[in-house]
A and B are shown apart, each in its own frame.
Chain A
Amino acid sequence: MKRRDARAFWLFVGPFLIGLAVFAYLPIGWSAYLSFFDARNTVTPTDFVGLDNYGHMLTDEPFLSSLGTFSVFAVFIVPLTFVLSLALALGVNQLRFARAFFRSVFFLPFACSYVVASLIWKTSLFSGVRYGLANTVLGLFGADPVAWTGTVHPPLYWIVLVTARLWLQLGFYMILFIAALQRIPRHLYEAAWLDGAKPGWQVFRYVTLPQLRSTAVAVLLLNLINAYQAFDEFYNIMGDSRGYPPFARPPLVYLYYTSLGSGGQDLGRGSAGAVILALIIALVTLLQGRVLRFGRTA
């Protein structure tokens, strides 16, 4: 690289690198440091406790429960998001007119604040009173109002959480798939037709899907990581000023209450939980990448 190019590189990349170091790597390192101390209400602890915080978190029923709950959530939300966003992408990509319009329509929710969407879902669409949208529809069929976020048997709150997440995220993954679809060379389809492949499922199965492999694996990985990092919609839909119920409590919400709970901050245990969660995400991601052969082309 020429000296002038190097200067330009650091000029443009430097500020972001500094930001990344100060606001990402330093806190991660500090968090790892805190995880070995009794760090209640302090970020400069002196009471070294070794692996005690890790031991506590690994035997802490609410933390383990949050991990279990979200593994189940990931099992459902990842395939659901994958299939629906791919279907949307295929549908929008085939439009002959107003394609840009529909692409924008489906993508726009991604630009919406999670907090705003959560509050709309909680207080308007899935409000428990008779004039909530979902209950209004049910009322047309003579059904009584349903407490969507408060009903545990059956766990109706998942409908609220999953639909909110789907509405917010589908558009983004749809765009990724559309970009991948548009990169598939036209001649591959022509060759398939010449070889007698039937339009529809056969072409999709043997041409389109293999060509989407890299994007599909990336979407799956991003989805999985996002599932474990879920916070905003859960915190705003299920939580209130008094706290958060034990059901549908994702790891980050639990760690938030542990680390930054009102009146008391246990940064040692919260950091240990964060490190454990990061390791789990890394492990699952690596495993998934290996199984799906991430990085390889069709």
Chain B
Amino acid sequence: MHNRRNFLALAGVGALTAACGSNTGRQGDPPPSTAYSAGPPPSDTPKVALQQWYHAYGEDGVQEAVKRYAASYPGAAVTVQWNPGDYDSKIVTALQNSKVPDVFEAQVKIDWVRQNQVVSLDDVIAPVKADFSPAVLAAQTVEGKVYGIPQATDTQVLFYRKSLLQAAGVQPPQTVDELIDAAAKLTKDGVKGFFAGNDGGVGVLTGPLLWSAGLDYLKGGNREVGFDDPRAATALGKLHTLNTNGSLLLGAPADWSDPGAFIDGLAAMQWTGLWNVPKIRSAFDDDFGVLPFPKLDGSGAPSVPVGAYGAMVNAKSAHVAEAKAFVKWLWIDQTQNQLEFATKFGFHVPARQSLIDRADNLKNGPAADAARFVKENSHLVGGPVWTQQANTALSDAAAKIAKEGADPAAQVKTAVGVAQSELKRLFG
């Protein structure tokens, strides 16, 4: 079953909440909405029927909660559909020719906009736009228009066992080389130093490695490739070292998004999601800490990837106005529901900055550290303009470097070429 973490696991999607909490200058309740006029109709008007889709969240209680939100909406009869399996492919297929769903969660891609499959929600978000960080909105924005209202923010961090590091005389790593060194020193007695997925970190560490060198997927307003730089080869080359020095756990029963390997003592450090804090705390109490992915060197920076599904409206819906009104009601007006959705069923950061300070479970310990990382070091994974073709090329390059010892410079050059041709296709 998919859960809330898996949107980050999907290629080329994400969101960013850099500099959260400081650009509204407000505390407490978010600002009220005033500009968008489409609201619930009078009570004697027959209700239209709307269908709302979610992917299948793994945390207990989420499904009941979103059904409760939908049932309490006075303006329409909203039916919630829970979608296990490959939700993102299902949505893409549904959007092609179907009026259903009216409202759904997703991360916008530029091709959806080019095909007129989703509607702009600029008028819906306008009154509270400043309450979302520009980076969170960037994940839902194509060519200046917002197509999704961010629902919650997820992130991934480096979990480490304090006692194991202490016993090995290892300090929490601050650079990529220190991470590699720590992983090697922590590998003993059947315990591996580091676990970053059964693919050797190709899937989840490619972005952090680019960011560690001060690079990105795209730059220049998404019109240029962001890793056409020799430092990209240097950074991705570190993945080969990790994969060949025997310190990386490979072939674990559960993959990186599950805390099983870390909890079962198979690895001393694991790259995984903030959503695992409750399970890890239950296993280790306070014997763990979290870190951002370290910087490559003095010219780089630490990082955490962030992403968020946004509530979107199907352009082919028979009730676009009513669907937009529902989205506004749920994801703009109902702040208490938004806070509950983000924080009650697991560890997630509210999408709106004014709600982050109201989240009690993000005020202490590793969760508070992670929330700080999100504010200070977050990066968007891919983004709306980062296409499947470009992502496959970069992922293939990283895999060949990590696993086959391919020449990093040549592999990066190939990926840059594909990404450039995709940008040319999109923007001419």
* Contact residues in A for B388 (Cβ distance below 8 Å): 257-258, 261-264, 266
CB-CB under 8 A for A263 and B92, given A123-B253, A149-B251, A243-B11: yes
With CB as the reference atom, state the residue of chain B lying closest to A262. B88
Q: Does the CB pair A242–B9 fall under 8 Å? A: yes
- Categorize the interface residue count of chain A: 35 or more
Is A129's CB within 8 Å of the partner chain B?
yes
Q: Quick check: is A241 within 8 A (CB to CB) of the other chain?
A: yes
A150 within 8 A of B: yes
| Interface presence of B210 (CB below 8 A) | no
Query: What total of A-B pairs shows CB separation below 8 Å?
Result: 140
Contact of A263 among B11, B197, B400 (CB under 8 A): B11
In the complex, how many angstroms separate the beta carbon of B79 from the nearest chain A beta carbon?
25
Task: Flag if B392 contacts A261 (CB, 8 Å).
Answer: yes
Tell me whether A265 is interfacial, beta carbon within 8 Å.
yes
Q: What's the Cα separation between A126 and B399 when bound, in Å?
A: 21
Q: Which of A41, A242, A257 contacts B199 (CB 8 A)?
A: A242
- Let me know if B404 and A153 touch, CB within 8 A: yes
Q: Is A20 close to B, CB under 8 A?
A: no
Tell whether, in the assembled complex, residue A41 and residue B95 are in contact, meaning their CB atoms are under 8 Å apart: yes
B269 on the interface (CB 8 Å rule)? no
Query: Does residue B126 face the partner (Cβ distance < 8 Å to A)?
Result: no
Other 8 A-B pairs with CB < 8 A, given A148-B251, A150-B199:
A43-B96, A123-B254, A126-B251, A127-B253, A242-B197, A245-B403, A263-B388, A264-B111
Per-position binary interface string of chain A over residues 238-253, scored 1 when its CB falls under 8 Å from any chain B CB and 0 otherwise? 0011110111000000
- Assembly CA distance A254 to B316 (angstroms): 30
Judge whether A191 is part of the interface by a CB distance below 8 angstroms. Answer: no
Q: How far is the CB of B1 from chain A (nearest CB, A)?
A: 12
- A113 close to B (CB within 8 Å): no
Task: Name the distance in Å between A256's Cβ and chain B's nearest Cβ.
Answer: 9
- Verify B396–A263 contact, CB threshold 8 A: no
Whether, in the assembled complex, B218 has its beta carbon less than 8 Å from a beta carbon of chain A, the answer is no
- Of B13, B197, B250, the most chain A CB neighbours within 10 A belong to B250
Q: How far is the CB of A100 from chain B (nearest CB, A)?
A: 37
Contacts of A263 in B (CB 8 A): 10-13, 88, 92, 107, 109, 388
Contact assessment for B250 and A150 in the assembled complex, using a CB-CB cutoff below 8 Å: yes
The A-contacting residues of B in range 228-286, CB under 8 angstroms, are 249-255, 257, 266
Closest residue on chain A to residue B264 by CB atoms? A129
Most buried by B among A43, A153, A242: A242
Report B108-147 CB contacts with A as 1/0, cut-off 8 Å.
Answer: 0101101101000000000000000000000000000000
With a cutoff of 8 Å between Cβ atoms, the chain A residues found around residue B190 in the complex are 130
B200 near A242 with CB under 8 A, answer: no
User: What A residues does B405 contact at CB under 8 A?
Assistant: 153
CA distance A150 to B96 in the complex (A): 37
User: Is residue A62 within 8 Å, beta carbon to beta carbon, of the partner chain?
Assistant: yes
Cβ of A163 within 8 Å of any chain B Cβ, yes or no, is no
Of the candidates B249, B255, B392, B399, the one whose C-beta lies within 8 Å of that of A241 is B255
Shortest CB-to-CB span from B397 to chain A, Å, is 9
A161 interface hit (Cβ, 8 Å): no
The answer to whether A260 has its CB under 8 Å from any CB of chain B is yes
Residue B299 is within 8 A (CB to CB) of chain A in the complex: no
Q: Is B395 an interface position by the 8 A CB rule? A: yes
- For the complex, give the distance between the alpha carbons of A90 and B217 in Å: 58
B40: CB under 8 A from chain A? no
Does B389 make an interface contact (CB < 8 A)?
yes
A104 contacts B by Cβ under 8 Å: no
- Which residues on A sit within 8 Å (CB–CB) of B391? 243
Q: Please, how many angstroms separate the alpha-carbon atoms of A151 and B402 in the complex?
A: 11
Distance of B418 from chain A, by nearest CB (Å): 9
In the complex, which residues 147-178 of chain A have their Cβ closer than 8 Å to any Cβ of chain B? Answer: 147-153
| A202 at interface by CB-CB < 8 Å | no
Give the CA-CA distance A240 to B266 in the complex, in Å.
Answer: 20
Q: Which of A40, A148, A260 has the most CB of B within 10 A?
A: A40
Which of A62, A130, A146, A147 is most buried by chain B, counting CB atoms within 10 A of its CB? A147
B62 at the interface (CB under 8 A from A): no
B250 to chain A, nearest CB (A): 3
Provide the bound-state CA to CA distance between A150 and B196, in Å. Answer: 12
A40 touches B111 (CB 8 A): yes
Known: A129-B266, A153-B404, A262-B10. A42 touches B96 (CB 8 A): yes
Are B253 and A260 in touch, CB under 8 angstroms? no
Residue B198 interfacial (CB < 8 Å): yes
Is B115 within 8 A of A247, CB to CB?
Answer: no
CB distance from A200 to the nearest CB of B (A): 44
Confirm or deny: B97 has a beta carbon within 8 angstroms of a beta carbon on chain A: yes
Q: Which of B109, B266, B399 contacts A245 (CB 8 A)?
A: B399
- Answer yes or no: B63 CB below 8 A from chain A CBs: no
Nearest to A62 among chain B residues (CB) is: B396
